[in-house]
Amino acid sequence: ATLTGKLSMAYSKRMGGGRTDANYLVVGAEAGVAQRSIDFLNLRWGTQHDGRGGYDPNLPTMENFDRDNFLFADLAAGLLWFMVFDEDNSLYFGGSFHHLNRANQSFSSDGVDDLYSRFTFHAGGEFLAGNKFGLVPGVIVMSQGPSFQVNAGTSFKFLLNKSKFNYQAFQLGLWTRISNKIESGVLTDAAILSTRFDYDSFSIGFSYDINVSPLRPASNANGGFEFALTYKICGPVRRGVYCPNF
């Protein structure tokens, strides 16, 4: 089992522009402690089976594990730049670096099982194409050790009410997930359908992953359903930092 506690913080600085049409740089950092534990008594090893269907837990395991409960630090940092053209158009680029210290997770004091660092890049924006219609494209790229994944697509946004105190919008999105498979190389893993409704500072969203990979028979063609509820806390614009909508 792994139990993790982390503390995150970020600092945002306006780099140029006015109060509602400016670009900002955000620097973030995260530090935490994780506890990893295991009960070796619940494990069975090949040397404890006699090959005839019998099992003897008193036989030696021939394994050298002497750390069943330990702590390790976990550090991360990130950088984000975003540009707000006006209340309806924005653009952002960002990246993060997780597991900076590559902590050793081995249950053996003599072993080495370093936690792979994870690199993440994401970009996107919101662009109004008319008084009532806009596009919300986005992409996120993640790489950790031998694993690689890309989520990319766009949502089509329909503005229902642009009133400052009664803002309403509806989104329909189509996305794809691309990942690498050890035996098959890079392939399209899933198609993702999404929808979202915005009301003032609240947002409610639904998405469904459609499995299109070779794992489709194993999953019986069943996808994954997700639900999200968001509340945006934005300070007054006069404070010098515009609150972007994601």
- The answer to whether the beta carbons of residues 187 and 168 sit under 8 Å apart is no
Residue written as tokens 């991360």?
76
Task: Name the residue type at position 106.
Answer: S
The architecture that CATH gives domain 2-239 is: Beta Barrel (2.40)
Neighbours of 140 (CB within 10 A): 16
Residues 6+ apart with CB under 8 A from 160: 168, 169, 170
DSSP secondary-structure letter at 242? -
Residue 232: predicted pLDDT: 84
Domain map (residue ranges) of the chain: 2-239
Tokens at residue 97, please?
A: 């670096």
Q: What's the number of CA atoms in the CB half-sphere (13 Å) around residue 103? A: 17
Over the chain (246 residues), the average pLDDT of each successive run of 10 is 94 82 92 92 81 80 84 96 88 96 90 94 93 94 94 95 86 94 78 94 94 79 89 66 57
Residue 246: predicted pLDDT: 54
Enter the pTM of the model: 0.82
Residue 245: predicted pLDDT: 58
Is 123 in a helix, a strand, or coil? Answer: strand
